[in-house]
Structure formats: C-alpha cells, structure tokens
Amino acid sequence: MSVAVMYKGEVIFAEGFGKRNEHQPFTKEFELKDPVLTSQLTMADLLSHRTLTLPSFAPVELSWLRSCTTRRELITRLRHASIPQKLTPNLNYNNVMYAVAGEAAANVAGTTYEQLVHDKVIPPLGLSNTGCSQKAMKKLENRASPYHADSFSKAQAGEFRKGEYDESYMAFAPAGDLHSNVLDLLKWGKVIVDGGKVKGGKQVLSKESVEMTVTPQSILEIQTKSPELSHSFTYGLGWGLATYKGHNCYTHSGAYPGSSANLRLFPDDDLIIAQLRNINSSALGVYTDFFIADKILNLPTYSTSEDWLFDKAVKATAEIYEGLEKEREGKGLSARVEGTVSVLPREDMVGRFENPLYGVITIARVIPDKDEGKDEEEEGLEFSYNEYRCKMEHYHYETFRIVLEDLGVFEAKLVSFEAGSDGHVARLSINFEEPDLVRFVKVKDPIATTVADKEE
C-alpha cells in the first residue's frame, strides 16, 4: 500500500507500507434498442451514470469482463439492451457507458482511446509514472504485484497469495485501466483543484470543463447516517461530491482484482490525499482519507465517532471478506433440491450457446486423467465465458453450479439446460443477476469440444 498527501501545494507525506512484490458525436457503433433515447443521450448523461438501471444491467458489465471482443464490437451489442427511456436523477453506476464515452472522444479525435489519453493528458500534465494497461505495467521494473488473502483471518495474519498481472484486453479501459503511482495522482488532483492548471500556472485543461466535472449531475442517497458525513452524495462527471465534517470534498475510488485506489480532494483546504493498494479486499481507503483529514485540518472528534483505522476499517474489511465467502459458497443462490438427477445426456449439453447482447458461452466435456484411475462415468463439463473457465457441479435436475473467480473475487451462478421440442438441448439459462435469467441459444452442429482434466 502507498499513501501520499499534498497540502497547500507541497507534498508533506509519501510512504509505502507492507509487501510490494515478489454533447458530442458518439461512435457509429453506438445504438440502443430505443432510437429516440440514442438520439437524445449526451456525453454528460454517460459520464454522470444516469443512463442505466441496476442491477438489471449488471450482467452486461460481466459480459465485457475478460472479453477478447473489441470495445467497438461490444458497443454494437448494446442495441439489444433494454434501457428505460426516461433518464433519472439517481446515480446508476456502470462502466459500460464510460467505455462508450471514451470511444466517442477517440472517434472525434480520429485516434484510439489509449492514444488520446497519452496525447492529451499524460505528458501535458507531467504524469511521468502513468500509463495504460496492466500488460504495459508488467514491463516496468519498479512496480507492485497484486495480492489477495483467502480469508479475513489470513489477511490479519499477513498470509497473502500473489496473483498475476491481467494481460487480457480491457474493454472497460475508459472506466479505469491506468497504472500510476501516488505522486502522479497528487499531480492529477492538484490540476483539478487548480481548475485545469499545472504547476507554474499554465492552463492545460479547460477551466469550464473541469468545473463541469465537479458540478452535481446525479444523486445518491446515503443510507448510513453519521454526523461526519453529508446525508446525500452527488456525482459530477467522474467525481463523487460530498462533505466531510463541513468540508467540501471530491472523491473517487477504483478497484480490480488484486488492486485498488482512492483519491480525495478537499478543494477549499488545498488538501489532496492519494492511495494505492496492491490488494482489493480492504476498506482502508475511505477511512484512511478521514483519518488524515482529521489530523491535518485539525477537525473535531464527535462523541459518537469510532476510530477510523482500528475500528471502522477493520469491521468494514471483515464484512467484505464475509461477503466474498458467501458469494463463493453460493449462499445467494436458489435452494438446492436434494436427491435429484439430470435426465438430459451430458454429450447433448456440449456446444456453443449464443446471445446477441451477452455473447457466447461454450460447454465442453472434461475427460478425466486416466493416470488417476477415474471411470468414464466421471466425465464432467467445463463452462467457458470470455476468458473465464471453470468446472460445472451438478446442482439439481438440469441445473449446474459454477464459480467464476478473479483473484479472490467470486461469482457463483446457476446454469440450467432446456430441451427443445425434439427432446435435445436447445438453450441454457444463467442467473447473471437474481432473479432474472439470461437465455443463450445453442448453435446447431457446433464443433466438438473436449478438454483434458489436467493442470497446465
């Protein structure tokens, strides 16, 4: 973990802790099911997270993860998405529309999104330690490695397992695929606080554009009431806007398996706090911000206040691990019907299944390792979706349980096979988001698919 603090234009703290390593045109591809809504959407609508209704759109986000399909091709799928025509003032956080916005900006500039960010942001702002993609980060000598603990108790004991850099294509790049360090994040925060100016007073970013990003656009009600925090949270264009003990602050966080980040700006106090962590399952971010702000700004302590680091952060982190364990065990799934068997033959379940919005699922046979003495009857099935691969466990009837994992981030789902009028498997459905099911249609005459039950 690394933390850096800038106060009144000076870096007053920068330290590392723990283990480090061993209204513009869109793209022509963008079209929603409702042509009127497509024609009315603006860049501000996309960047303020007010275009979609969650959780119904969450499966679309999952379909973009670890996908080898290009960003623009994925955007063309959105014409099959059912999105309410009426926009709401409420915050409906999603990453897909940020990807659309990034491609729209690149479309106007006549280049790629990654090149646009390099040309217009990284060098002009002096962000010498910032770049795009984990694949590029892997080439750097001075870098941190991703880690994860399998339980809260192991995290407390310092027992973390090292992960690998994700070199897969990042369709969500405009929503977050930059690598950086805390000193560059301080520079970025200072540019926002100073209205688009870099050190020395040069105007690099449009002052009007910067001001628009920190102007409230969407609303999120905060359910947990506390004397320290405002009772409502608004969102600008890429910044959360709130108050902490009466002090205005702009904030945003980001996370990916094995890494997480926080950046909080107190514009009226000229205070910027940046954090990067090479773990994802931690609540340290927001509470470390509050701890630092209390000390530097000499803020009052309320009688109801808990210790941010040794009380609130610990409890919240324990809850994160508890949620991960529930997801891994599938505690949110429909109750299992014991003593049932599958009637449909396994070989009929093998094949390619397609959905115009969500893409392709492939089911393959798993051939047991003969060296382990397994019988032919023990053949199983493997589920493949984008770059995810996992074994399928029979749950009940024609339904199987799968667990998609990304370095400690788990998604337990149920996959059910359905027969057509001819008695053969014609479709499968998956509970991408309870209680809604997404159906995939089997492609006729698929190429035979078989995998060996061996670790590479």
Question: Could you tell me if residue 341 is inside a domain?
Answer: no
Residue 449 confidence (pLDDT): 59
Question: What is the Cα–Cα distance from 309 to 288, expressed in whole angstroms?
Answer: 6
Residues 299 and 404 in one domain: no
Please check whether residue 91 is in contact with residue 49, taking contact to mean a CB–CB distance below 8 angstroms.
yes
Average pLDDT over residues 284-311: 88
Instruction: Specify the higher pLDDT residue, 116 or 135.
Output: 116
Domain's final residue, options 328, 362, 393: 328
What average pLDDT does the structure give for the chain? 86
Domain's final residue, options 328, 356, 374: 328
Residue 453 confidence (pLDDT): 54
- Position 399 pLDDT exceeds 60: yes
- Position 433 pLDDT exceeds 90: no
Instruction: Specify the higher pLDDT residue, 290 or 221.
Output: 290
Q: How many domains does the structure of the chain reveal?
A: 2
Contacts of 44 (CB under 8 A, 6+ apart): 23, 212, 217, 237
Domain, as residue range, for 125: 2-328
Residue 456 confidence (pLDDT): 41
Helix/strand/coil for 40: helix
pLDDT in tens, 31-40: 888 887 888 7
Q: How confident is the model at residue 369 (pLDDT cuts 50, 70, 90)?
A: low
Average pLDDT over residues 132-159: 88
Question: Could you tell me if residue 337 is inside a domain?
Answer: no
Instruction: Specify the higher pLDDT residue, 360 or 31.
Output: 360
Residue 27 confidence (pLDDT): 64
Residues 261 and 300 in one domain: yes
Residues 62 and 182 in one domain: yes
Give the CATH number for residue 434.
2.40.128
Instruction: Specify the higher pLDDT residue, 305 or 412.
Output: 412
Residues 310 and 358 in one domain: no
Q: How confident is the model at residue 455 (pLDDT cuts 50, 70, 90)?
A: very low
Question: Could you tell me if residue 334 is inside a domain?
Answer: no
Question: Could you tell me if residue 338 is inside a domain?
Answer: no
- Position 50 pLDDT exceeds 70: yes
- Position 251 pLDDT exceeds 90: yes
Instruction: Enumerate long-range contacts of 249-255, CB under 8 Å, 24 or more apart.
Output: 249/293, 250/192, 250/214, 251/286, 251/289, 253/285, 253/286, 254/176, 255/280
To 5 degrees, how large is the angle CA 149–CA 178–CA 242?
80
pLDDT in tens, 150-174: 899 999 998 998 888 887 888 888 8
pLDDT in tens, 208-236: 999 999 999 998 766 566 778 887 789 99
Domain's final residue, options 268, 298, 328: 328
Number of helices (H) and strands (E), helices first, in the chain?
14, 21
N-term to C-term CA, the chain: 32
- Position 25 pLDDT exceeds 90: no
Residues 162 and 207 in one domain: yes
Residues 372 and 266 in one domain: no
Residues 304 and 413 in one domain: no
Residue 405 confidence (pLDDT): 86
Residue type at 232 in one-letter notation: S
Average pLDDT over residues 238-243: 93
Residues 268 and 360 in one domain: no
User: DSSP letters of 373-421?
Assistant: T--GGG-EEEEEETTEEEEEEEEETTEEEEEEEETTEEEEEEEEEEE-T
Which of 1-15, 246-260, 374-388, 402-416 has the least mean pLDDT? Answer: 374-388
Average pLDDT over residues 427-433: 89
Question: What is the Cα–Cα distance from 71 to 82, expressed in whole angstroms?
Answer: 19
Question: Could you tell me if residue 220 is inside a domain?
Answer: yes
- Position 42 pLDDT exceeds 50: yes
- Position 177 pLDDT exceeds 80: yes
Average pLDDT over residues 440-448: 76
Residue 454 confidence (pLDDT): 47
Residue 24 confidence (pLDDT): 44
Question: Could you tell me if residue 336 is inside a domain?
Answer: no
Residues 242 and 95 in one domain: yes
- Position 121 pLDDT exceeds 50: yes
> How many Cβ atoms are within 10 Å of 150's Cβ, its own excluded?
16
Residues 407 and 277 in one domain: no
Give the CATH number for residue 154.
3.40.710.10
Average pLDDT over residues 125-138: 89
Residue type at 340 in one-letter notation: T
Residues 360 and 300 in one domain: no
Q: How confident is the model at residue 26 (pLDDT cuts 50, 70, 90)?
A: low
Please check whether residue 186 is in contact with residue 4, taking contact to mean a CB–CB distance below 8 angstroms.
yes
Question: Could you tell me if residue 339 is inside a domain?
Answer: no
Residues 313 and 359 in one domain: no
Instruction: Specify the higher pLDDT residue, 207 or 222.
Output: 207
Please name which of 370, 383, 368 lies closest in space to residue 413, comparing C-alpha atoms. Answer: 383
14-50: buried (b, 16+ CB within 10 Å) or exposed (e) per residue? eeeeeeeeeeeebbebbbbeeeebeeebebbbbbbbb
Average pLDDT over residues 349-370: 90
- Position 341 pLDDT exceeds 90: yes
How remote is the C-alpha of 132 from its chain's centroid? 16
Please check whether residue 323 is in contact with residue 316, taking contact to mean a CB–CB distance below 8 angstroms.
no
Confidence (pTM): 0.87
Question: Could you tell me if residue 118 is inside a domain?
Answer: yes
